[in-house]
Structure 1
Amino acid sequence: MTRTLSLLTAALLSVAAAQDTTAPAPALPPTTQAVPAAAPGVPVRTQVAQGTLVGREANGVRVWQGIPYAAAPVGERRWRAPQPAPLWVGERDASQPGSVCVQPRGALDGSAGGLRGSEDCLFLNVSAPANANRAPVMVWIHGGSFRSGAGSDYDGRLLARERGVVVVTLNYRLGALGFLAAPGLLEGRTDGNYGLLDQQAALRWVRANAAAFGGDPQNVTVFGESAGGMSICDQLASPGAAGLFDKAILQSGPCTPNINTGALADALRTGAAYARDLGCPDGSAACLRAVPAEQLLRTPVPGRRAPGSVALPPVYGDDVLPRSPQEAFRSGQINHVPLMIGSNLDEGTLFTASIGGARDIPAWQYWALVALLERWNAPRILANYATRDYPTVGLTAAAIVTDGLFACPVNDMARTLARVTPVYAYEFRDRNAPTKLKPTASVPNYGAYHASELISVFGTPLTGLADPAQFTPAQADLARTMRAYWTNFARTGSPNGTDLPIWRPLDPTRGNVLTFQPGSVTESTAFRQEHRCDLWDR
């Protein structure tokens, strides 16, 4: 299923490049929230293992930013597992975020083109209630297709103040610097997955230092969306992540499709070709470590793939991920923690919006693509995703992306894991979710698009994407309800609480999913029928 769907998605997205070369790559854009350069408020000090931090306190929340959780991964430390964070003498100013990991500038913040960040980027940020005492700790792993984004793009202050939790956001290495697997970089049985190793190092730092911020080091929940959710999905299957977190929330983050986690052997072939293109025909580590970061980002990763898809995803077959997550999940040999897993009703609209440019995709082209890629199964696909049943052909394509690449893989994963650990399954269904994204001919309405739940979970704006100031009263109520569920789960392992509709653990035989929409939080058992998951289960 996943190979066919990835090919079909690739072909549909490739239409955008053929029809409108000026259109941005249709991938999740990095959210770039403008966290203040320096947090407001009065100085507040705390002692961590490396030394004294001076943050800021304002409006009942204490914020420390730009905290190094590992040594700078530069020079000989490039493409190695993260090393312990440095100590410092005296006080370290923690009023400003640290550098983001080097990445292309995003289109959403009006700064498309060029680079932002640096290689010295392994920093995290902490928001804590001023009176925190053994409060639950929630560690956020950002999305961005494993090539963009930063912890400082997200503001944890409202969650901390409203819900009494300590919120940690972190950076991890991205793109080639985070996920290149090449023969010359092999160390022991580790190659690639440096970004996943960074996340593990950050979680070890949180375990060791949470108490300094009023957090409970024995009650750590990791949560993330898109590539962040996929990262957590991978960490569930990683032996090195055992014992680093107590609960996990995966938002729109299936790691089981093979476009999201690849085999090491394939990654090594790609890495060898990439090394040659970088001017390192022998592929040696010394040559690769001498390549400027700017050249790494400017040099395309070899291989055929959809515009905007992940060129260098995490890999399995090394010590970080010895087996594919799908195999690990089926065997039940995972890091057993309670889970919340879900997706959004219209995930695919964000990815197909730019297809066609100023006009919708021609129906004949959509039919031809389905016939070419699905072959004998094409009539079945076309019957289930007929263009006449959707306002535009682009929305037809979006339904395929939603069902085949997000909804069904996420639900498959949830059902598999529910057999070995408690899982609470959800779907975000607000089809009038606020957005600053421009309508297109292919997608005149984004609906409950990929990432649309984020402003509800954090309660803060994401520049270029959406702003909770646009909420209707019913949407604001829904957002508060979601934050209550998310933080209740972090506190106790169950999302349920006073004055909230009961959320039952997923029973794979019933297929019960809690659905979130303004004015209605209800259980549904029709998820797999609505998303035609039987069509993709083959």
Structure 2
Amino acid sequence: MIRALSRLSAALLFAACLAAAQDTQTPATPPTEQSAPTSAPGVPARANVRSGVLVGREAGGVRVWQGVPYAAAPVGERRWKVPQAAPLWVGERDASQPGPVCPQLRADKSVRGAEDCLFLNVYAPANAVHAPVMVWIHGGSFRTGAGSDYDGRVLAQERGVVVVTLNYRLGALGFLAAPGLLEGRSVGNYGLLDQQAALRWVRENIGAFGGDPANVTAFGESAGGMSICAQLASPGAAGLFDKAVLQSGPCTPSINMSPVADALKSGAAYTRALGCPDSDATCLRAVPVDRFLTTDVPGVRSPGSVALPPVYGESVVPRAPKEVFASGTIPRVPLLVGGNRDEGTLFVANIEKGGKDLPVWKYWGLVAVLERWNAPRLLAAYPSRQYETVGLAAASLVTDGLFACPVNDMTRDFARVTPVYAYEFGDRSAPTVLRPTGSVPSYGAYHAGEIVSIFGTPLSNLADPAAFTPAQAQLARTLRAYWTNFARTGNPNGETLPEWPRFDPTRDNLLTFAPGRVAVSTDFRTEHRCDLWKR
């Protein structure tokens, strides 16, 4: 059933992406190009890492280092290779500006970034000594985004943690599995290997910034959460982080990861589309970066799905994460796992243009074509007449089948072997600059809607904490307290906070977050119709 829903949601994502490309005023997916935060004027701040001396800036009680290389440039012969150690430098290296982002397309189809992009950014309290470390892995459908899109200053100053944000290779440069790139059992997943390299860099160097290398938490949202999800199934990630937070990031649906055999078929077709023989790595390494961004991946697949997603069945992720989690063979690190009440609204909003709602015939047609014999059951469970718009019926279906229930299934598996704290972000008035549409008159607790609360800083073209009501501002502080308490101790609870019980699969208990109300819920699976989406 999850595989079938992945096909349906993929079609909706495809339509949303088309709409977003036509109307950048109302993006259908979380925006990926932010105004990269730069260090405020201040005094120099030096850190001596293994490669040399970095000079960042200190202002307002926070020290910031940006554009820090954590690996060698993945160019030339190093394209589609395991990341190599960052080069040494002589003297002091300026770390006051972000480095280039990894190559990606903007909404207007222009190219953003450069192939030499393996940089990270560090935000630390000025007086940090053995502070907890939080490493952020950004989202963006494995195609877009950058660490420098996110500003860790508030978390550092308010909560006393060291925050690291990072870039990793995206699109074909990060996830192409082609026959010519096979090295033993390794192929694809270069972006996941970059994340592992960055986490190793943190273990080796974060003490120079006042962080505790023995207390590292990986956290991420959407593709970032899916990345951490995949890392839990990767032997190479063992020991690289002590705790993890997965926000709206299930890696188990088929839309989000590909078996290696399928990936190699897609990669071979893509290699030929680029004008190279199937097994010619030299030819591939000579292809200009822009062509990878503008050449479509041939082949039959669900429309709108990530054409080159992470891969399982090779050396980085040897087994399907769903199988790994069901078997209980994951690192026994504490986990904080959850999602948002209305994930699907962001993806459905722009399917129809001109202020129109999604036509009911199109909704029925999508379900009938993609779900076949199961369509009547789904249409009965999500009848458009019971929603304000047809688009909201589709959004509810996407929320439950692609996000809520897979996340809950993973959580139940995790909780059998390691401490887990589960949540749902439920602020259905979450502020956003996204415009209402005929399909989605209100975005509710939308996908990515919690990020500005967690960071306490604006996310360009999505939302700004300045728009919070007093109750929303208090909720944001509460979220930051829980997240950083968890990073500090593996338990999110603390004085003055409502108690957050550890997840118990027999109770299915999770903490729900809304302005003025933080409470335990045990009816999640009923609310999200998870019996329909059994594995």
Per the TM alignment, residue 155 of structure 1 is displaced from its structure 2 partner at its CA by: 0.2
1:320 and 2:321 are equivalent in the alignment: no
In 2: Cα distance, 1:205 partner to 1:42 partner: 25
Q: For residues 320 and 13 of structure 1, do their structure 2 counterparts lie closer, same or farther at Cα, with a shift above 3 Å needed? A: closer
Choose from 463, 467, 472 the match for 1:466.
463
In 2: Cα distance, 1:535 partner to 1:370 partner: 14
In 2: Cα distance, 1:273 partner to 1:367 partner: 33
Q: For residues 346 and 18 of structure 1, do their structure 2 counterparts lie closer, same or farther at Cα, with a shift above 3 Å needed? A: closer
Structure 1 counterpart SS, 2:123? strand
Per the TM alignment, residue 259 of structure 1 is displaced from its structure 2 partner at its CA by: 0.8
Which letter maps to 1:53? L
Partner residue in 1 for 2:2: 2
Partner residue in 1 for 2:364: 367
Choose from 250, 261, 272 the match for 1:276.
272
Partner residue in 2 for 1:75: 76
1:174 and 2:170 are equivalent in the alignment: yes
Q: How many residues align?
A: 533
1:228 and 2:252 are equivalent in the alignment: no
1:92-137 per-position Cα deviation (integer Å, ceiling 9, x unaligned): 00000000001112x4xxxx32111000000000000000000000
Partner residue in 1 for 2:132: 136
1:425 and 2:449 are equivalent in the alignment: no
Partner residue in 2 for 1:11: 11
1:457 and 2:454 are equivalent in the alignment: yes
Per the TM alignment, residue 3 of structure 1 is displaced from its structure 2 partner at its CA by: 1.3
1:17-48 per-position Cα deviation (integer Å, ceiling 9, x unaligned): 89998357976333433234444211011100
Q: For residues 229 and 428 of structure 1, do their structure 2 counterparts lie closer, same or farther at Cα, with a shift above 3 Å needed? A: same
1:60 and 2:58 are equivalent in the alignment: no
Partner residue in 2 for 1:45: 46
Partner residue in 2 for 1:297: 293
Structure 2 counterpart SS, 1:223? strand
Which letter maps to 2:351? I
Partner residue in 1 for 2:179: 183
Which letter maps to 2:468? F
In 2: Cα distance, 1:274 partner to 1:460 partner: 39
1:517 and 2:514 are equivalent in the alignment: yes
Give the TM-score of the pair, scaled to structure 1: 0.96
- Counterparts of 1:70-109 in structure 2 under 5 Å? 70-105=71-106, 107=107
Which letter maps to 2:326? R
Structure 2 counterpart SS, 1:514? strand
Structure 1 counterpart SS, 2:22? coil
Per the TM alignment, residue 439 of structure 1 is displaced from its structure 2 partner at its CA by: 1.0
Partner residue in 1 for 2:144: 148
Q: For residues 204 and 20 of structure 1, do their structure 2 counterparts lie closer, same or farther at Cα, with a shift above 3 Å needed? A: closer
Structure 2 counterpart SS, 1:158? helix
- Counterparts of 1:348-497 in structure 2 under 5 Å? 348-358=344-354, 359-497=356-494
In 2: Cα distance, 1:306 partner to 1:451 partner: 23
The answer to whether the 8 A contact 1:20-1:356 is kept is: no
Give the TM-score of the pair, scaled to structure 2: 0.97
Partner residue in 1 for 2:206: 210
Return 396-405 or 281-290, whichever deviates more: 281-290
Return 303-312 or 214-223, whichever deviates more: 303-312
Per the TM alignment, residue 188 of structure 1 is displaced from its structure 2 partner at its CA by: 1.7
In 1: Cα distance, 2:166 partner to 2:284 partner: 26
Choose from 244, 249, 270 the match for 2:240.
244
Per the TM alignment, residue 262 of structure 1 is displaced from its structure 2 partner at its CA by: 0.7
Q: For residues 302 and 218 of structure 1, do their structure 2 counterparts lie closer, same or farther at Cα, with a shift above 3 Å needed? A: same
Which letter maps to 1:158? V
1:183-215 per-position Cα deviation (integer Å, ceiling 9, x unaligned): 000112110000000000000000001110000
Q: For residues 201 and 12 of structure 1, do their structure 2 counterparts lie closer, same or farther at Cα, with a shift above 3 Å needed? A: closer
Q: Unaligned 5+ residue runs, structure 2? A: none
The answer to whether the 8 A contact 2:13-2:305 is kept is: no
In 2: Cα distance, 1:230 partner to 1:36 partner: 25
Which letter maps to 1:205? W
Structure 2 counterpart SS, 1:522? strand
In 1: Cα distance, 2:251 partner to 2:270 partner: 24
1:34 and 2:35 are equivalent in the alignment: yes
Which letter maps to 2:201? W
Q: Unaligned 5+ residue runs, structure 1? A: none
In 2: Cα distance, 1:218 partner to 1:381 partner: 48
Choose from 336, 341, 346 the match for 2:337.
341
Which letter maps to 1:190? S
Structure 2 counterpart SS, 1:47? strand
Return 35-44 or 475-484, whichever deviates more: 35-44
Q: For residues 305 and 466 of structure 1, do their structure 2 counterparts lie closer, same or farther at Cα, with a shift above 3 Å needed? A: farther
Structure 2 counterpart SS, 1:254? coil
Structure 2 counterpart SS, 1:320? coil
Partner residue in 1 for 2:257: 261
Q: For residues 81 and 481 of structure 1, do their structure 2 counterparts lie closer, same or farther at Cα, with a shift above 3 Å needed? A: same
Return 369-378 or 265-274, whichever deviates more: 369-378
Tell me the C-alpha RMSD between the 2 structures.
1.6
Identity %: 73
Which letter maps to 1:287? C
In 2: Cα distance, 1:53 partner to 1:143 partner: 27
